A and B are shown apart, each in its own frame.
Chain A
Amino acid sequence: MDQSAVRNFCIIAHIDHGKSTLADRILEATGAVSEREMTEQVLDQMDLERERGITIKLKAVRLEYTSKNGAKYLFNLIDTPGHVDFSYEVSRSLAACEGALLVIDATQGIEAQTLATAYMAMEHNLVLIPVINKIDLPSADPKRVMQEIEDVLGLDPSGALLVSAKTGQGVREVLEAIVDRVPPPAGRPDGPARALIFDSHFDSYRGVIAYVRVVDGALTKGMRIRMMATNKEFEITELGVFRPSMVNVDFLGAGEVGFIAAGMRDVKDCHVGDTITSAQFPADTPLPGYKRLKPMVYCGLYPSENSDYDNLRQALEKLQLNDSALVFEPETSAALGFGFRCGFLGLLHMEVVQERLEREYDLDLVTTAPNVTYRIVATDGSEIEVDNPAKWPNASRIAAVKEPFVRVSVITPKDYVGAIMDIFEEKRGIYKEMSYINPERVFIVYDAPLSEIIVDFFDMVKSRTRGYASVDYEFDSYRESDLVKLDILLNGRPVDALSVIIHRDKAQAKGRALVNKLSKVIPRQLFDVPIQAAIGSRVIARETIKAKRKDVLAKCYGGDVTRKRKLLEKQKEGKKRMKQLGRVEVPQDAFMAILKVDGDE
């Protein structure tokens, strides 16, 4: 098809504003999916996505559309994740598009992620089409939302479309707007081939499947290609498009979106962000890639059973094939044995990975509390990065400690401004600015340490604003902070996996809360177990778990030994799920206790 008839676009939105429902309607309206096939939210395939109502992996779908003027068009709809953790993946899909539908809930208005993703789309020079969704709801207020579009985003509100993705109202107009307003791809069809890899997944039969946006030239079946970053060459064995199932084609021309398979057995052969060119007639320069995003949050992942170590490694490797943001390296904990230090884009990303490991790979995991990467300036002037509290240097060797700060944007009804400010106060936030989006809603910006944001910040915002405030954040800079390492001693022995890095002013309270929490989650043992919190050699909090007093089966009814054995077997099974630290048996969730201590007080 002629390049002028191609439209590449994505849908961006704040979570729950109706992105997936609109995508479903578009798929239906273009006949890509029959209504019979239409399970709700076709693009969100993973169980986890469906359960949590979020989109994690982006997908691309090719659609055919005949416009009102009778002309045929080829749409490529590239789905994007809707959560702040995955903004990196959003930026990747933006790079493959010329336009974006900016979906805004008519009852909610602009939220923090609406802003963040809209700005990101503008940076990529995408044409933005504002779509005001959910206009069928009684509380919809499209006029107010249009005012916000003008005031906050600086976009012409007259171009906004009024839609109900639920009822289908206005969807036809969306499709026409895509035809009229999204520009066709601008690449050179006759130039040397250049295609951007914007995502990939691993197929155990075909190897790496690269999702590509052809910018210049064309890709054809059997063509020898070269990866411009690695200079590795392959032959395209398969070429196709998503409709939304994979359909093979012989040719992908400039401006088109699809997938290729080329016998790439190693995921490292196919960097997301790399440019594919022809081996025979290579292009001179690659397309602008993406800067590789560094993980923001780290935690230790350990198999409950040491024998599962290899299974965990294999599962992580497999997940990494489809999730380039996940990083991991082996580490050893005195308490937990052999495991991995894993890096994630954010807390949700971490939870999603943990859940997938447990659900899809049937692994039983012990997870340590998440932490950020610190930069430590040593007394000799050298600087090291520490992503694991267990590797914290001795205090005498530390000249200064820097921690990552993020810029946090909050949009909230004005009644909750005080509540939001209180939260930032607790979270060591630094006030930056505040402005009124409209007389009812306020835009607030703070800088805050990432370490504070990853521990129940989102839950606090949600509960103290009854869910009305929205949050987005982005990395800002490393800044010096007065941080100390808080150790937990169990029965007199430090437990490396329980150490946390904390601001000196908060150490006392945290130590007390943590010790108290642990004394509740660790069951009574056969002897008294002291739990202490210490900074260096100074103990700042202490509790004792009193020895267990009773655990007995009083009676064997009429010689029913079998039943008694079964009860003992059950008890033995329960113990298996505990980690043995010295002589103390610790349940696995104790290692996550740190995450929950603030909420309990």
Chain B
Amino acid sequence: MTCGDSVDYCGLYIHIPFCLRKCSYCDFASYKVDSYDTSRYCDAVVREIELIFFGDDRVCGHGDSLFAAGAAGLVPDTVYIGGGTPTVLPVDQLAKVIKAAKRATMCSGRLDRDIELTVEANPGTLTAEYLLTLRELGVNRLSIGLQSTSDKYLSMLGRVHSYRDFVESYRLAALAGFQNISVDLIYGLPGQSLEEWREDLTKVTELAIPHVSCYSLTLCEGTPMFDNVTAGRLKEPPEDLVADMYFEAVSTLTKSGYSHYEISNYALPGMECRHNLGYWENRYYIGIGAAAHSHLKGFRCANTADVGKYIDRIEAGVLGPEYVESISRRRELSDSFILGLRTAAGVDIEELSRRFSPEAVAEFTRSIEEFADVGLVEFANGRVRLTERGMILSNEVMAKLL
């Protein structure tokens, strides 16, 4: 990496689209692990990383591929290996991927940053050996898909694990030396009471898990759970109850010392996810693997979600995202607002005015001024941010910022 001296730090996302089985609410690109040659997939991922960061285009900096141009000068300082369930892979396969990702972070030749390296994991796939290997490879953050502390709802969600499995995995992870651990929880499940949700929150605060994501259930068309709700077999929880659950999470977790730093995310001091903050700050990121999305200079793009097609392309040495969308300056600004407002810090109006133009920024801020009257947004100290209530009504505000 020698061309030019300007370096932009970016995120590196690697998608492992395999699970033991697909959960009933999931509409993301993930496939049953035993029907694919995961080893070949991991080799393709490694190859894609090499093509991007060490390929001829990259070295010369003036390659003709759009992708290479958009990624020129980008150096990852966070790595997030997500899925799917990356930890369904045999440890040696995942190790290859992690090593390739780490090499990518070193491509600038500089050493001025700590690298955040997250791996997503599901309880029931983790052994002590596996965890120790990840730790030795430099993984410093684990994100565990807990979803619920009640076995009744875990089974409704189609999860393969029990709450006890999680507790065991969490214990092993701590023993293996992981200090930065995150769990996902889902609320607003069909039939779930506010009391049951409190129970979930109490358990994670008792364990003092450093980072907690609380997602309200989104029913997506084409998922078994959506069908069950449409057919009346499951009942979608009322809007008011789901809102109560959101505010319950806000108050319980902040009382226990967490900061509510993004719509769905809570962290103990200093434990915020740097990689995800990068998304919300509208920074660049490079996505590797099937269905992975990238935000590069001037455009967003995504790889094909078809694992077979993805492997074929990469093996042929082709870096060709299936979907490309150019991002105008106005769009870039709009995205900065929409994404930035997800965070508690909100959007830095002055910084944006410098990067874009004060007039353009003012046009956007004007369009959401009305929400200040109803207590959804706050303008203060040169920033605009959503209030706690504004966060759970954020679509209303964001729809004005398109």
Interface residues of A (CB under 8 A from B): 524, 526-527, 546, 548-562, 564-565, 567-569, 571-572, 575
On whether the beta carbons of B287 and A561 are closer than 8 Å, the reply is no
What does the 1/0 interface line of B318-335 toward A look like (CB < 8 Å)? 000001010000000001
Residues in A with CB closer than 8 Å to B130 are none
Residues of A within 8 A of B216 (CB): 550, 552, 554
A572 — which chain B residues lie within 8 A by C-beta? 399, 402
Given A553-B218, A554-B263, A572-B402, the answer on whether A561 and B293 have CB atoms closer than 8 Å is yes
The answer to whether A558 touches B292, judged by C-beta atoms less than 8 angstroms apart, is: yes
Q: Are A559 and B293 in contact (CB under 8 A)?
A: yes
Q: A527-B374, A551-B394 are in contact. List 13 more A-B contacts (CB 8 A).
A: A526-B396, A548-B396, A549-B239, A551-B392, A551-B395, A556-B342, A558-B15, A560-B302, A562-B302, A568-B338, A568-B398, A569-B402, A571-B399
CB contacts (< 8 Å) of B239 on chain A: these are 524, 548-550
Q: Which of B264, B395, B398 contacts A555 (CB 8 A)?
A: B264
Residue of A nearest to B263 (CB): A552
Complex Cα–Cα for A380 and B342 (A): 65
**Bound: A562/B300 CA distance, A:** 8
Q: List 15 A-B contacts (CB under 8 A).
A: A546-B240, A548-B239, A548-B396, A551-B393, A552-B392, A553-B218, A554-B215, A554-B264, A559-B295, A560-B302, A561-B279, A562-B325, A568-B395, A569-B402, A572-B399
Q: Does B36 touch A at the CB level, under 8 Å?
A: no
Pairwise interchain contact B395-A559, C-beta atoms closer than 8 A = no
| A residues less than 8 Å from B356 (CB atoms) | none
- Cβ B300 vs Cβ A561 within 8 A: yes
A556 → chain B closest CB, angstroms: 6
Give, as a whole number of angstroms, the nearest-CB distance from A545 to chain B: 13
CB-CB under 8 A for A526 and B376, given A556-B279, A561-B295, A561-B339 = yes
Question: Which residue of A550, A555, A556, A560 is within 8 Å of B393 (Cβ)?
Answer: A550
Residue B88 at the chain A interface, CB threshold 8 Å: no
Smallest distance from the beta carbon of A569 to chain B beta carbons, Å? 6
Total residues of chain B contacting the partner, CB 8 A: 44
Q: How far is the CA of A562 from the CA of B395 in the complex (A)?
A: 15
Knowing A526-B374, A559-B287, A565-B338, say if A552 contacts B399 (CB, 8 Å).
Answer: no
Closest chain A residue to B393, Cβ basis: A551
- Closest 3 pairs between A and B when the two form their complex, measured CB to CB: A549-B243, A554-B215, A551-B395
Whether the pair B402, A551 counts as a contact (CB closer than 8 A) is no
Chain A residue nearest to B83 in the complex (CB):
A558
A583 smallest CB distance to B (angstroms): 8
CA distance A567 to B217 in the complex (A): 16
Q: A550 CA to B216 CA in the complex, in Å?
A: 10
Name A548's contact: one of B15, B287, B393 (CB within 8 Å): B393
Q: How far is the CA of A524 from the CA of B239 in the complex (A)?
A: 11
CA distance A546 to B240 in the complex (A): 10
**Closest approach, in angstroms, between the C-beta of B232 and any C-beta of chain A?**
20
Please state if B396 and A551 are interface contacts (CB–CB under 8 Å).
yes
B285 within 8 A of A: yes
Complex Cα–Cα for A575 and B342 (A): 22
Within 8 A of A (CB), among B358-402: 371, 374, 376, 391-396, 398-399, 402
Q: How far is the CB of B375 from chain A (nearest CB, A)?
A: 9
Q: Is residue B246 contacting chain A, with contact meaning CB distance below 8 A?
A: yes
Please state if A559 and B402 are interface contacts (CB–CB under 8 Å).
no
Give chain B nearest CB distance to A251 CB in angstroms.
67
Q: B242 at interface (Cβ–Cβ under 8 A)?
A: yes
Report the separation of the CA atoms of residues A524 and B238 in the bound assembly, to the nearest whole angstrom.
Answer: 13
User: What residues of A have a CB within 8 angstroms of the CB of B82 in the complex?
Assistant: 558
Residue B13 interfacial (CB < 8 Å): yes
CB distance from B80 to the nearest CB of A (A): 8
Task: Tell me the complex Cα distance, A526–B374, Å.
Answer: 7
- Which residue of B215, B391, B399 has the most chain A CB atoms within 10 A of its CB atom? B399
In the bound complex, residues from chain B placing their C-beta under 8 Å from that of A568 are: 338, 395, 398-399, 402
Q: Is the CB of B242 within 8 A of A558?
A: no
Q: Which of B283-324 contact A (CB under 8 A)?
A: 285, 287, 291-295, 300, 302, 323
Name the one of A527, A553, A558, A560 contacting B395, with C-beta atoms under 8 angstroms. Answer: A553
Given contacts A527-B374, A568-B338, contact A558 B399 (CB under 8 A): no
Q: State how many angstroms separate the Cβ of B301 from the closest Cβ of chain A.
A: 9
Chain A residues positioned under 8 Å from B392 (CB to CB): 549-552
B13 and A555 within 8 A (CB): no
When distances are taken between beta carbons in the complex, the residues of chain A under 8 Å from B246 are 550
Q: Do A555 and B215 contact each other (CB < 8 Å), given the known contacts A549-B240, A549-B243, A565-B402?
A: yes
Chain A residues, CB < 8 A from B242: 549-550
Contact between chains at A561 and B335 (CB < 8 Å): yes
- Report yes or no: B374 in contact with A558, Cβ–Cβ below 8 A: no
A555 close to B335 (CB less than 8 A) = no
Q: Which residues of chain A have C-beta atoms less than 8 A from B339's C-beta?
A: 556, 561
Closest to B214 in A: A554
- A560:B293 contact, CB within 8 angstroms: yes
| Contact A552:B376 (CB < 8 A) given known A559-B279, A568-B402, A572-B402 | no
Q: Chain A: which residue is nearest B294 at the CB level?
A: A559
What's the minimum C-beta distance from A520 to chain B, rounded to whole angstroms? 14
Assembly CA distance A565 to B243 (angstroms) = 23
What B residues does A565 contact at CB under 8 A? 335, 338, 402
Output the nearest chain B residue to A547 by Cβ-Cβ distance.
B374
Most A CB atoms within 10 A — which of B279, B295, B374, B396? B396
A564 to B394, CA, bound (A): 12
- Distance, CA A200 to CA B155, complexed state (A): 70
- The docked-state distance in angstroms from the alpha carbon of A118 to that of B11 is 83
Interface centre among A526, A559, A565, A567 (most CB of B within 10 A): A559
Residue in A closest to B323 when the chains form the complex, CB atoms: A562
